[in-house]
Structure 1
């Protein structure tokens, strides 16, 4: 990375309220949109993969860290994107994929995973060892969490030394549930400043005990709960007043910024306020595939009109069949009456539908939709009706009214709101 070093982020954040967006997705449409958006501005492009999504055993994407890196670099090459501007990050690296196993076995696999991420060129490393393994509490005490994080850092540092790379660490684990909340958001509270300070201190001591003082000097971020979250049909927007005490704690943490997870669906004013208050790393994932799904469903409705597609042959009908046949990715997340489940499956902010896009039958349905539409311009009146959020730009001729561009620009629109907040 030559244009933007993560080591500079804490000072840049304090001096100019600059931040960075973390793109947390493995979908090629989302990643191409991220490359398109980043190509039109200065600054870095940070792309991250989680431990469940990508690991040495393949994760749910089927990709190892090296395979994910190659996948991203191939997309970048096709987009003629300067990869010196790209940062790859590993998120929630720890025993979580194997927490059903005894702790020693789970940690052994976590060590192998961390080594694989660093060997593949990932340099932003979020260590998350807070979860209990077989026979342990759901969340282990801070001292055990920090000790296990230091153990993983030792492996990361040894691997980085062989690779000749320089790592930057993120610590802390107090985040909204992956994929959004499944409960009411009315009681949501930001992390207390005392808890934030204690998390950093206990990790500092654990790293020192492991002889990793120099590595901890490259810890730049602390994951906290700033008071943002989303559920199936509601979003808890950032409230600067409620987070004032937490934000003030950064004054006692020189060299650190806060990392905010699950910032999806926040208005740009809230994203800007987060960055102003020291939450300089903003992570977004489901909100991007949500925007992609909106565009695909809009085009699906347009194709039904233009091409007289039978209802049971639409993309939406295919998605419904696939999700009902295999409910594992949504059933435990949507707690509502049966009549409401159809709406949640397709339109929930939690966007559990994103797990189904790689399915062969779904890919075939998407390909069939795009083949029907071809490369013909979509009538503006139908864009106004079914893709209204894109209509002003289409009417102003900012991009062609063709299917591929419409899908990409739907995602770019979300990413631009983050760039506006983080880059000013």
Structure 2
């Protein structure tokens, strides 16, 4: 599959733009469409979420970005079972099956050393993890990804709690981008857009002065090597997975900073954030959602379990998903300081439920979970289409984002700016 092959007529006209479709839209969001729209990026953490996102984007008549971490999608299949190539094939097949004609861009999220849980857990050396990321980037480019987030803001060779020095972040960001561009040109693939920075506290870029230094050094280094500038810079705008906070004033300050470099702020952890309508007004160019959609999928399945039991049916999905999440150990990454070291069953029941809902995305493809889900769907088949029920719940939440980000019929507005 060629890069950005998911751009259909008439948007295929901008596939050769200097920074691809995303770069073209970003230029509009800095110019005639400034402070009016925010692009939506969805983490493809399950088949249900991916299908629902395509359906929602079609209903909204808006572009759709996918932002896949290396935990989700990688050469080893990640926790979704998808490689970059099979994700691209799945999305392309769904677009064809549903006869959808919307621009869709696949993207890499947090591509950098030790950003993949397996790399950190196995304590890979820098060279080992860096080479694995380079191979993943090549696979993403081959699969048609149009946006690459390069994020070398973790360094397990430093003492715990020590921020990665900015010169090192810059050096490694340039190395990743250089490799991507060299590979892309060698393979004669169309241009792509790049994203840098991080919202994570451990990344050491929360202080606005450090962010400014990072951008100064990075742009200088990129210009020295004749490499393209990133389209997005990920910034700390107050959002976290377990809060509803969005810091509008901080976002405006970061927006003013990054626009001086011809880039836009990208927000991560946009799940369950209050006042989503403020994102365009703050100048946020793009926003990622993911774990919250897994929680919506989980809640929909909870409702199906309740319906099955109301009908006297014997189902085990809730037990299977809980067991798989607990055994995965992934829930421990979301523990509060006072919870660390406690066994799962000792936590508050509401926290247990939240951790299962949030961690569900890691185990959707677990054999026992798949089997229990099939049995649940089959048990309810005489009364309802369980698969459609789940997708409808996810789609409804996604439509909240499309509306808040002023993306309804955005494709029509974009067409007015297409080159002849």
TM-score range, shorter chain: 0.7 to 0.9
Task: Choose 67-76 or 295-304, whichever is displaced more.
Answer: 67-76
The separation in 2 between residues aligned to 1:244 and 1:363, in whole angstroms, is 44
The separation in 2 between residues aligned to 1:177 and 1:359, in whole angstroms, is 30
Secondary structure class of the residue paired with 1:112: helix
The separation in 2 between residues aligned to 1:194 and 1:368, in whole angstroms, is 55
Secondary structure class of the residue paired with 2:280: helix
Aligned partner of 1:389 in structure 2 is none
The separation in 2 between residues aligned to 1:21 and 1:375, in whole angstroms, is 36
Secondary structure class of the residue paired with 2:152: coil
Aligned partner of 1:380 in structure 2 is none
- Quick check: 1:241 aligned with 2:265? no
Describe the superposition over 1:323-358 as per-residue Cα deviations: whole angstroms up to 9, x where unpaired.
34x141113433546443553343349701221221
Aligned partner of 1:165 in structure 2 is 190
Aligned partner of 1:73 in structure 2 is 92
- Residue 212 of structure 1 deviates from its aligned partner by 3.0
CA 1:240–1:110: 2 relative to 1, 3 Å: same
- Residue 230 of structure 1 deviates from its aligned partner by 2.8
Aligned partner of 2:294 in structure 1 is 289
Secondary structure class of the residue paired with 2:332: coil
Describe the superposition over 1:91-143 as per-residue Cα deviations: whole angstroms up to 9, x where unpaired.
11122233522223322222222112111111201111111144676542111
The separation in 2 between residues aligned to 1:115 and 1:134, in whole angstroms, is 25
State the structure with bigger RCO (CA 8 A, min sep 6), 1 or 2. Answer: 2
Residues 286, 349 of structure 1: 8 Å contact kept: no
Aligned partner of 1:314 in structure 2 is 316
- Residue 29 of structure 1 deviates from its aligned partner by 0.5
Aligned partner of 1:373 in structure 2 is 380
Using the size of structure 2 for normalisation, the TM-score is 0.81
Task: Choose 126-135 or 412-421, whichever is displaced more.
Answer: 126-135
Aligned partner of 1:420 in structure 2 is 403
- Gapped runs of 5+ residues in structure 1? 179-188, 378-401
The separation in 1 between residues aligned to 2:70 and 2:325, in whole angstroms, is 24
Equivalent position to 2:220, from 186, 205, 211: 205
- Residue 20 of structure 1 deviates from its aligned partner by 0.7
CA 1:238–1:145: 2 relative to 1, 3 Å: same
Aligned partner of 1:399 in structure 2 is none
CA 1:249–1:323: 2 relative to 1, 3 Å: closer
CA 1:146–1:136: 2 relative to 1, 3 Å: farther
CA 1:241–1:150: 2 relative to 1, 3 Å: closer
- Residue 250 of structure 1 deviates from its aligned partner by 4.0
CA 1:251–1:362: 2 relative to 1, 3 Å: closer
The separation in 2 between residues aligned to 1:194 and 1:301, in whole angstroms, is 51
The separation in 1 between residues aligned to 2:59 and 2:28, in whole angstroms, is 21
Aligned partner of 1:122 in structure 2 is 145
- Quick check: 1:108 aligned with 2:131? yes
Aligned partner of 1:93 in structure 2 is 111
Q: How many residues align structurally?
A: 375
Aligned partner of 2:331 in structure 1 is 330
The separation in 1 between residues aligned to 2:297 and 2:239, in whole angstroms, is 22
CA 1:272–1:199: 2 relative to 1, 3 Å: farther
The CA RMSD measured in Å over matched residues stands at 2.6
Aligned partner of 2:38 in structure 1 is 19
- Quick check: 1:229 aligned with 2:240? yes
- Gapped runs of 5+ residues in structure 2? 1-6, 15-20, 408-420
